[in-house]
Amino acid sequence: MKLGLIGLGKMGYNLALNLMDNGHEVVATDVNDQQVQNIAQDGASPADSIRSLIDNLESPRTIWMMVPAGDITEQVLSELKPLLDEGDRVIDGGNSNYKHTLRRAEELQELGLFYFDVGTSGGTDGARNGACYMIGGDETEFRKIESIFADTAIESGYHFAGRAGSGHFLKMVHNGIEYGMMQAIGEGFDILEKSPFDYNYEQVANVWNNGSVIRSWLMELTENAFSKDAKLDDIRGVMNSSGEGKWTVESALDFELAAPVITMSLMMRYRSQEDDTFTGKVVAALRNEFGGHAVVKK
Ligand SMILES: O=C(O)[C@H](O)[C@@H](O)[C@H](O)[C@H](O)COP(=O)(O)O
């Protein structure tokens, strides 16, 4: 089918190529003109603005947004809304907070538009060669555009989860799990690193990928990383985060349930942003006060 794609970053560009490989016609735009020219050379119809993208599609239009979650998604949507006609469909393929998705879906519904939240996993390689989609929205309408997901997903790699919001909620929890799994892998290698043995981490990850209980894509990526830099000497252990883990923990708190692994993984990411902590200073000072225990001076 013919569809519009807004956002030609690492994910969007690869998705455009994937869609075209699978016989879909893509009208694409981005704030970066160079990316628009590049994708035109790769076979898409270039649009120099959102308005021109809309003008190049017939209603009911399908517009796939592959832009960063938050303010940018909000801006693109407010630019899009007045240009769309009743029955048009908007897909949010970013990692949006599901609460924002619920609000946006309602706002679009009032205008007679359909909103699909599509949590997309698998990174840039997935976007290019077969992604994993977690999809929320109107089911009848979803069935009309199902082919764009079926064709660009890995085999059995898309799931219609239910009403609007359910796709992004599912992706959020997926990412919470991702935090916990990565933290556990990191801690395991840290214990190996402090051990009296001299392990080769690439080989360790490799053997764990062959038949062990913890074999996984994350362990394959671990193996890749160690194959490039045996002790990861070139990078610092600063772990950034873009929100999904925090929202997962917020949901657990809202539901008053225990999610200690995901919560601690998130806290460890925050901790990694600081070289020293005030908490540590206070505890060290207290040990010194009550027991005369030594403190490490600056
Ligand atoms: O499933 C995926 O492909 C990932 O979850 C991806 O969507 C996520 O955005 C990044 O891994 C960064 O997430 P953090 O910045 O929160 O670590």
Other CB atoms within 10 A of residue 13 CB: 23
Q: How confident is the model at residue 285 (pLDDT cuts 50, 70, 90)?
A: very high
pLDDT confidence bin for 295, thresholds 50/70/90: very high
By most ligand atoms within 8 Å of CB, the mutation choice from 95, 249, 270 for ligand 1 is: 95
State whether the beta carbon of 94 lies less than 6 angstroms from ligand 1: no
User: 171-272 is classed in which CATH architecture?
Assistant: Orthogonal Bundle (1.10)
Determine whether the shortest distance from the Cβ of 183 to ligand 1 is under 6 A: no
Best residue among 175, 240, 265, 273 to mutate for probing ligand 1, ranked by most atoms within 8 Å of CB: 175
- 154-166 pLDDT, tens digit per residue, is 999 999 999 999 9
**Nearest-CA residue for atom 7 of ligand 1:** 121
**Span 270-289, mean pLDDT?**
97
This model of the complex carries an ipTM of: 0.97
Catalytic positions, written as ranges:
171, 178
Mean pLDDT across the chain: 98
What does the pLDDT average to over 86-102? Answer: 98
pLDDT at 195: 98
Share of the chain above pLDDT 70, in %: 100
Does residue 93 have its Cβ closer than 6 Å to ligand 1?
Answer: no
- CA separation for the pair 229, 143 (Å, rounded): 46
Phi, psi of 131 (to 5 degrees): -95, 180
Whether the bond into 68 is cis, omega within 30 of 0: no
Q: Which amino acid is at 107?
A: E
181 lines ligand 1 (CB under 6 A): no
Q: To test ligand 1's pocket by mutation, which of 133, 170, 242 has the most ligand atoms within 8 angstroms of CB?
A: 242
Unique residue bearing structure tokens 């996993």: 121
The pLDDT assigned to 267 comes to: 98
**Euclidean distance between the first and the last CA atom of the chain, given in angstroms as a whole number:** 64
41-47: average pLDDT: 98
Q: Which pLDDT does position 273 carry in this prediction?
A: 97
What local confidence, expressed as pLDDT, does residue 144 receive? Answer: 98
Average pLDDT of the residues in 206-229: 98
**pLDDT band at 133; cut points 50, 70, 90:** very high
Residue 150 and residue 180 in contact, taking contact as beta carbons nearer than 8 Å: no
What's the pLDDT at 17?
Answer: 98
Domain definitions of the chain by residue range: 2-162, 171-272
Name the fold adopted by 2-162.
Rossmann fold (3.40.50)
pTM over 0.90: yes
**CA 97 to chain centroid:** 11
| Ligand 1 atom having least distance to the Cα of 239 | 17
Q: Write the pLDDT tens digit of every residue in 219-262.
A: 999 999 999 999 999 999 999 999 999 999 999 999 999 999 99
Q: Which atom of ligand 1 is nearest to the CA of 179?
A: 17
- 123 CB near ligand 1 (under 6 Å): yes
